[in-house]
Chain A
């Protein structure tokens, strides 16, 4: 982990106008639903996937396409440290946005006479932070695979494929095809639901699936970045 890389990454993210615009829309739009229908509780803010996209999209790919990576690796920076710092930077940014959003949602619900209990707030916060750290991991892997913002396209393609597999499995009556789609979708947006533990249904599989997705994504991203041959004459 490299604190300087993380801070620089977050500073870049917070000063990019298009990302800021998306951040404001993704952060405040669901709050309008909460204000209009407080009985829905935290339901309109399901997870932190949108924040992970805003902070994480192109986290490595843009460095590759802009030539920053060549300059960066001319400095005393190990590649695995760079990759992990990128993931942490995107995760911290997404988690901070999610915490801010949950805080505002709690205030709105309280003001509208539907104050959530402390347990509900704590669970929602924990779920959203876990979602932020989880969703940025596969995005890191995709960003190491393709240059620029190609990771968003790849993510969309994989999500669509997962949906098609689920629908096809259901239509053809083959549960295993649906299961492949479900697993693929779960890989692209790993989440933890702490309420499962509180509800008396602790699941090791649920926890291990999350940790497995995150570690596989980071490990493969490091391998991919390690294998990149960079030169000023090359674009990748």
Chain B
């Protein structure tokens, strides 16, 4: 029969080690939380990627439409959130890949929109307006929008680098089609 009492003879010992670990981790949790709030970490280099560099030339939301018209390129909105795992994976596999980033920079005006509802309870009005306009309810969502034709294409979720680049090509062709009276959106 296995022993069911500890060294003190109790069958309900105080979980001393676990409590010490829990206490230490709680202190570390508060400490690292304060530290990381004040010192955001710099990205670490991965093989084949440029350390600490944003390869995609993200543009400010405020100038996106005017830049799009001036450069005659549609806008690529990347709707993401800090807590979103697939968004991070997409960033690592697509936006941090030199070849993919080059394609995006060449063909689009890229704009990154980060949802802060989870962290701050609400978004700044410009972001919320944009999310409402494109009916964003999941992350990541990529919207390719052409102010010139008024067309847009949405892609929700992330299914791999090649699939995404293929979809971006299709979206580019779709939004660049001239608007007709019966297909205008």
Chain A residues within CB distance 8 Å of chain B: 37-44, 46, 73, 75-81, 109, 114-117, 119-120, 123, 127, 166-171, 175, 177-179, 181-182, 193, 195-196, 198-205, 208-209, 211-212, 215-216, 218-219, 222-223, 225-226
| Distance between A44 CB and nearest chain B CB, rounded to angstroms | 8
Residue B71 is within 8 A (CB to CB) of chain A in the complex: no
Contact of A199 among B33, B88, B117 (CB under 8 A): B88
Q: What residues on A are CB-neighbors of B26 within 8 Å?
A: 212, 216
Q: Is the CB of A170 within 8 A of B88?
A: no
Q: Is the CB of B4 within 8 A of A76?
A: yes
| Distance between B119 CB and nearest chain A CB, rounded to angstroms | 6
Q: Tally chain B residues at the interface, Cβ within 8 Å.
A: 55
Q: Is the CB of B121 within 8 A of A178?
A: yes
Given contacts A78-B4, A127-B85, A195-B88, contact A169 B121 (CB under 8 A): yes
Q: What residues on A are CB-neighbors of B91 within 8 Å?
A: 199
The A interface, classified by DSSP as helix, strand, loop or mixed, is helix
| Distance between B34 CB and nearest chain A CB, rounded to angstroms | 9
| Distance between A37 CB and nearest chain B CB, rounded to angstroms | 7
Q: Is the CB of B121 within 8 A of A205?
A: no
| Distance between B161 CB and nearest chain A CB, rounded to angstroms | 7
Give bound CA distance, A223 to B121, whole Å: 35
Q: Is the CB of B41 within 8 A of A40?
A: no
Q: Is the CB of A204 within 8 A of B36?
A: yes
Q: Is the CB of B15 within 8 A of A223?
A: yes
Given contacts A195-B88, A202-B41, A205-B33, contact A76 B120 (CB under 8 A): no
Contact of A78 among B5, B25, B46, B158 (CB under 8 A): B5
Return 18 A-B CB contacts under 8 Å, by A number.
A40-B157, A40-B158, A41-B160, A43-B156, A76-B4, A79-B11, A120-B93, A123-B89, A175-B120, A182-B118, A193-B88, A198-B89, A199-B89, A199-B91, A199-B96, A200-B44, A212-B28, A212-B29
Residue B13 is within 8 A (CB to CB) of chain A in the complex: yes
Given contacts A193-B85, A195-B88, A205-B29, contact A38 B46 (CB under 8 A): no
Residue B102 is within 8 A (CB to CB) of chain A in the complex: no
Interface centre among A109, A199, A203, A223 (most CB of B within 10 A): A199
Give bound CA distance, A178 to B120, whole Å: 6
Q: What residues on A are CB-neighbors of B96 within 8 Å?
A: 199-200
Which of B16-24, B107-115, B174-182 forms part of the interface with chain A?
B16-24
Q: Is the CB of A170 within 8 A of B122?
A: yes
Residue B2 is within 8 A (CB to CB) of chain A in the complex: yes
Within 8-59 of B, Cβ neighbours of A (below 8 Å) are at: 11-15, 18-19, 21-22, 25-26, 28-29, 32-33, 35-36, 41, 43-46, 49, 51
Within 112-134 of B, Cβ neighbours of A (below 8 Å) are at: 117-122
Residue B147 is within 8 A (CB to CB) of chain A in the complex: no
Give bound CA distance, A212 to B89, whole Å: 25
Q: Is the CB of A202 within 8 A of B6?
A: no
Q: What residues on A are CB-neighbors of B11 within 8 Å?
A: 73, 77-79
| Distance between A175 CB and nearest chain B CB, rounded to angstroms | 6
| Distance between B31 CB and nearest chain A CB, rounded to angstroms | 9
Q: Is the CB of B18 within 8 A of A43?
A: no
Give bound CA distance, A199 to B54, whole Å: 12
Q: Is the CB of A116 within 8 A of B159?
A: yes
